[in-house]
A and B are shown apart, each in its own frame.
Chain A
């Protein structure tokens, strides 16, 4: 959970899928800037022309294709998969060593010299973004960095720079405003929803589409920030720790006290009787 609550000035992507041509310039630009290897793939393994089949250690962003019919015409729809740079990122909250950080500028970055490789971040991310270097003996996690190094220098991310039509980059508040303006201006062209405004507690990647989001392969996600789900249990930890300790100490003290009182009573009844009781107890507890 990040301490910040105001994300309006964070840098955000507004990705208007209705304006995407499927050129995949963004995919290539991402590979170039991050110096990622090409993947050896075969065509038509997935739906339509999409390639490679999934994001991976070598592919931080990818255009998914979807064929559909409109007025008897074959149409394409696209979805640009990438890290959503959540306001309150699940990946950062679960990492035991804090290797994921939400930066003040917006991108969620990964500090690879901290990571111990537990892969909890991969379980936690609701969008299935972090990928592992399965090809290596001592692997690290890889994911879209939001081109943090470029953003720090005042540049736009590589994909946003390359995209001829669909990606706008700027303060989150303005991106949401612009998205809502487009929805209002062309109600016929868009599904009336700004994806990323509330999803997973709000993200720095915001989508507009024409088709329903699930049909494009968007994952169903909760509207609550994910770290709040675990925190509602974890915040009780110190209290429970002390309660258990306190209760058991009290019980232990009480039980021993009871024992002592009993012992004192038996002793006062006389040594002979006590020896007899002891002998009886001994035989009772002789389990051998």
Chain B
């Protein structure tokens, strides 16, 4: 009783915006309940022409690359060992963990037999020829890795010393594993659409789609880190990281450049059939490339823009816009056949997807409130406990505050 009152009291003290987010999430929960009671056919605009709709296009195909920040920043900071980026890693991991958890939620909502989702894990069902099998396995594996990485701030919060040391030793192996798993499933999301041979329009259909999905996930992941750090600076009173972000904005154009080259080669040499025969699709393609690719690419090449905190945010937002449009073009718009009825998500589908986005922001804000996700506390590790995992000795403990400053 008192606990409930305490929670209620706590919620009442939240900012208006957080309360609004809670409202959106609650609405989505109601929507999901309705969906489970009455079934997909009755509650969504899906049908035999559109077996996949908003929930697959956004909650899975788009949300996965949007959650790529964790693995990309992990590689940059831990593998390439650019230590000063450390402050960006932990928020990115929290975002990634939330993102992947919500991808799982989205997948569950979309499955016709959600209670059987676990069947994918049973070895006698394994089908290595299925891109869906690979993505499901990877998403589960990676969510687990992210969860373990996320335990880091949690252990700090509660002062669990032994797990903390273990996790600290595993930081680099985890970063490598995360990159391995992410490479697979980010690209395999592109492989999904290789089966749609005569369905996906040649503007997007080509055998290099998996490579393009992987490359675009990398630069979008880094852009998400920029977006998140900028917003957190603006609205959550965190320090301005634009100097650190400038390191990322130097990396992004390289990856974008590779991506554009692959896209061009794919379009010129691997595409079959008329490219510009459908005005609407042509427009979508042009917007995707011009606004979501060329413009931010140009912006990131200007050193003035690259280092300016509000311009960084704008360029990163354009990249993210371009990615979202690209994934929708591939998974939805480009699949519509001429003369086919047009699909639009209904209210319930939209409310649920909005709720998922709201949940992401809400949980992030709440976690930032209760867990040390913006700062490391290496001094919180009790060095007097016999360290069976070695490595974190007194020497290292002394060394760590040099790179990452604890709260003053």
Contacts and interface: CB of A to CB of B under 8 A. Distances in A.
Contacts of B46: 134
A115 B197 contact: no
Contact of A251 (B79, B191, B207): B79
Interface in A246-288: 248-249, 251-252, 255-256, 258-259, 278, 281-282, 285-288
A251 B80 contact: yes
A116 B207 contact: no
Contacts of A82: none
Contacts of B175: 248, 252
Nearest to B408: A288
A114 interface: yes
B187 A233 contact: yes
Interface string B71-99: 00001001111001001000000000000
Contact of B78 (A116, A132, A252): A252
Interface string A218-250: 011110101101111110010011001100110
B116 A115 contact: yes
Interface in B100-127: 110-114, 116-117, 119-120, 122, 125-127
A232 B110 CA distance: 28
A211 interface: no
Contacts of B134: 234, 237
A116 B112 CA distance: 6
Contacts of A245: 176-177, 179-180
Given A117-B113, A230-B195, A252-B78, A136 B39 contact: yes
Contacts of B191: 230, 233-234
Contacts of B131: 94, 230, 234
B172 A252 contact: yes
Interface residues of B, number: 71
A116 B116 contact: yes
Contact of B116 (A117, A226, A282): A117
A114 B180 CA distance: 29
A128 B197 CA distance: 13
A164 interface: no
A227 B196 CA distance: 10
A116 B244 contact: no
Interface string A113-132: 01111111011101010011
A63 B96 CA distance: 50
Contact of A98 (B51, B127, B180, B402): B127
Nearest to B36: A137
A89 B182 CA distance: 28
Nearest to B136: A96
B80 A124 contact: no
Contacts of A167: none
B48 A90 contact: no
A90 B114 CA distance: 23
Contact of A229 (B81, B84, B194, B335): B194
Interface of A: 1, 54-56, 90, 93-98, 114-120, 122-124, 126, 128, 131-140, 219-222, 224, 226-227, 229-234, 237, 240-241, 244-245, 248-249, 251-252, 255-256, 258-259, 278, 281-282, 285-288
Given A135-B41, A220-B198, 13 more contacts: A97-B133, A116-B119, A118-B110, A124-B195, A134-B42, A137-B42, A221-B197, A226-B195, A229-B195, A230-B191, A232-B207, A252-B78, A258-B81
26 contacts: A54-B48, A93-B130, A95-B127, A95-B130, A96-B120, A97-B119, A98-B130, A117-B112, A117-B113, A118-B112, A134-B39, A134-B40, A135-B41, A137-B36, A137-B42, A138-B113, A220-B198, A222-B198, A230-B191, A241-B184, A244-B183, A245-B180, A248-B176, A252-B79, A285-B405, A287-B244
**Which 4 residue pairs across A and B have the least CB separation, nearest first?**
A117-B112, A134-B41, A137-B39, A255-B81
